[in-house]
């Protein structure tokens, strides 16, 4: 489908003095902020914070005037000091397979992509970004070719869920039979380099009187930031996914350069110590299938050996190519042979079908193409403005 671009916004818009966004505050922070701003009396703060919380996170309102059980003067005072506005959705695309992708502008020059992947029945997973760009340069990942712009705030992470819920028409927060049933931190960026904001966002998203997506349905994917793994487990109780991609240090160093700092043995030890690991709460190992690089039967056997004793699931990701990438996706037969070895070792259906490739929403394709299109659209607009050059 066509890509819509609004060139009127391509030039820099003036930055409005931004008020703090209530949607990114945990319950405790919300309560404290209301008191500190002098808009709520301390003795009423807990009750007011609960009311506002429900409007924000259960009903998904974007207008203070809808908070009908909050006194009018209080509403006005809160609106004066804070915002609950959504960021701007610059682009929305829907794939033939039902995958949806939103390009969201958090601030001028700060844009992220969020992807909704429908699953069986009504359920589906939202793939959220934690940073704009990434510092880690994994050689098969398009996001890694882009410099880090900045960490996203908790409000900006929560906003991705709110935008998806708006579009899926899923307010007030349903108790069951949800379309947005799971959340994966597998978009742009390394979540463990932004753990404070990721942990706060998870506290907000998992709260029972709000968006209420349980921590068991929230997965954080990391390229292996070993010193942060324990804190991730303790602070979020989220499910863990590890981008492994290779079973020996020599190869993993070329794919995931962070392996030079935290080699496989250290990574595996930290994974085994991940809080609450059990057969009911397994670690997902992601393994991107690169033709002739890591896809031989010997690699599959080495993977089985490496994961022995770890409660694990394996996710084989067919490589999604991008312009200029130095790898090719393994042949389908090779992927199936690799999966068969894992199957025999007891790992069920490990191949992840690529979704949303037609709108560049698949793993590792995020952000870049829209940036490229937008840059070319900007050049076209510049030419139109100065036709003599
Ligand atoms: N930075 C985190 C989370 C985002 S990446 C991490 O690396 O885990 C989400 C997943 O997509 C990772 O497993 C990553 O290795 C994988 N990925 C990146 N580029 C890819 C590509 N071009 N094709 C397939 N998977 C890719
Ligand atoms: Fe960053 Fe993850 Fe891409 Fe590596 S795979 S560059 S850690 S986003």
Q: Does the pLDDT at position 193 exceed 80?
A: yes
pLDDT for 367 equals: 55
Nearest CA to ligand 2 atom 8: 189
pLDDT for 328 equals: 95
Q: Is 80 exposed, middle or buried (0-12, 13-18, 19+ CB in 10 A)?
A: exposed
If you measure from the C-alpha of residue 33 to the centroid of ligand 1, how many angstroms do you get, rounded to a whole number? 37
pLDDT for 117 equals: 93
pTM above 0.85, yes or no: yes
138 is catalytic: no
| pLDDT tens by residue, 271-293 | 999 988 988 899 999 999 999 99
Q: Does the pLDDT at position 137 exceed 80?
A: yes
141 is catalytic: no
With the most atoms of ligand 2 within 8 angstroms of its CB, the residue from 132, 136, 187 to mutate is 136
Ligand 1 pocket residues where CB is under 6 Å: 140-142, 186, 190, 221-223, 243, 286, 288, 317, 319-320, 363-364
Average pLDDT, whole number, for the chain?
88
pLDDT for 358 equals: 73
Contact 129 CB / ligand 2 (< 6 Å): no
Q: Does the pLDDT at position 5 exceed 50?
A: no
If you measure from the C-alpha of residue 186 to the centroid of ligand 1, how many angstroms do you get, rounded to a whole number? 7
Q: Higher model confidence: residue 18 or residue 79?
A: 79
Q: Does the pLDDT at position 375 exceed 70?
A: no
pLDDT for 3 equals: 31
User: In the numeric block, which tokens belong to residue 21?
Assistant: 């966004």
pLDDT for 284 equals: 96
pLDDT for 35 equals: 96
Nearest CA to ligand 1 atom 1: 190
With the most atoms of ligand 1 within 8 angstroms of its CB, the residue from 141, 367, 369 to mutate is 141
Q: From residue 14, give the alpha-carbon distance in Å to each of 9, 86, 109, 150, 378.
A: 11, 18, 12, 19, 18
If you measure from the C-alpha of residue 113 to the centroid of ligand 2, how many angstroms do you get, rounded to a whole number? 14
pLDDT for 196 equals: 97
The CA distance from 191 to 194, in Å, is: 5
pLDDT for 381 equals: 47
The arithmetic mean of pLDDT across residues 377-389, rounded, is 45
Nearest CA to ligand 1 atom 7: 223
The arithmetic mean of pLDDT across residues 296-313, rounded, is 97
Q: Does the pLDDT at position 161 exceed 70?
A: yes
- Percent of the chain having pLDDT more than 90? 75
Contact 144 CB / ligand 2 (< 6 Å): yes
Q: Where are the beta strands (DSSP E) in 148-224?
A: 150-151, 182-185, 218-222
pLDDT for 148 equals: 84
| pLDDT tens by residue, 70-121 | 999 999 999 999 999 999 999 999 998 889 999 999 998 899 999 999 987 8
Q: Does the pLDDT at position 354 exceed 80?
A: no
Residue 224 Ramachandran class (φ > 0 left, ψ -120 to 50 alpha, else beta): left
Q: CB neighbours (10 Å) of residue 258?
A: 22
Q: From residue 237, give the alpha-carbon distance in Å to each of 197, 198, 312, 337, 383.
A: 15, 12, 17, 35, 52
Residues 6 or more apart in contact with residue 263 via CB below 8 angstroms: 249, 252
Question: Worst-scoring range by mean pLDDT, 160-174, 303-317, 342-356?
Answer: 342-356
Question: Worst-scoring range by mean pLDDT, 37-46, 251-260, 277-286, 378-387?
Answer: 378-387
Question: Worst-scoring range by mean pLDDT, 157-161, 351-355, 358-362?
Answer: 358-362
Q: Does the pLDDT at position 304 exceed 70?
A: yes
Q: Does the pLDDT at position 371 exceed 60?
A: no
């Amino acid at each position: 489908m066509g890509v819509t671009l609004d060139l009127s916004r391509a030039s820099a818009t003036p930055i409005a003095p931004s008020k703090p966004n209530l949607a990114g505050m945990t319950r405790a922070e919300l309560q404290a902020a209301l008191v500190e701003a002098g808009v709520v009396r301390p003795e009423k703060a807990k009750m007011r914070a609960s009311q506002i919380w429900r409007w924000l996170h259960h009903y998904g309102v974007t207008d203070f005037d809808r908070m009908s059980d909050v006194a009018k003067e209080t509403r006005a005072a809160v609106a004066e000091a804070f915002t609950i506005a959504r960021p701007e959705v610059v682009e929305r695309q829907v794939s033939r397979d039902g995958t949806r992708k939103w390009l969201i502008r958090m601030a001028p020059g700060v844009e992220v992509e969020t992807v909704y992947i429908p699953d069986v029945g009504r359920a589906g997973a939202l793939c959220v970004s934690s940073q704009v760009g990434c510092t880690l340069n994994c050689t098969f990942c398009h996001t890694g070719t882009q410099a880090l712009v900045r960490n996203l705030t908790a409000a900006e992470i929560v906003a991705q869920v709110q935008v998806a819920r708006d579009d899926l028409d899923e307010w007030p927060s349903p108790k069951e039979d949800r379309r947005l049933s799971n959340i994966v931190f597998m978009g742009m960026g390394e979540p463990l380099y932004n753990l404070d904001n990721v942990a706060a966002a998870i506290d907000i998203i998992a709260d029972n009187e709000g968006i209420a997506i349980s921590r068991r349905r929230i997965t954080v994917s990391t390229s292996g930031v070993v010193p942060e793994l324990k804190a991730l487990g303790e602070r979020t109780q989220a499910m863990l996914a590890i981008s492994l991609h290779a079973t020996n240090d020599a190869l993993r160093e070329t794919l995931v350069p962070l392996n030079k700092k935290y080699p496989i043995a250290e990574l595996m030890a930290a994974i085994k110590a991940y809080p609450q690991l059990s057969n009911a709460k397994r670690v997902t190992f992601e393994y991107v299938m690169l033709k002739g690089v890591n896809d031989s039967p010997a690699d599959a056997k080495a993977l089985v050996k490496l994961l022995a004793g770890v409660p694990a699931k394996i996710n084989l990701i067919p490589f999604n190519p991008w312009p200029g990438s130095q790898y090719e996706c393994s042949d389908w037969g090779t992927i199936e042979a690799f999966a068969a070895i894992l199957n025999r070792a007891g790992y069920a259906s490990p191949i992840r079908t690529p979704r949303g490739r037609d709108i560049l929403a698949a793993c590792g394709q995020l952000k870049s193409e829209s940036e490229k299109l937008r840059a070319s659209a900007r050049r076209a607009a510049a030419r139109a403005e100065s036709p003599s050059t």
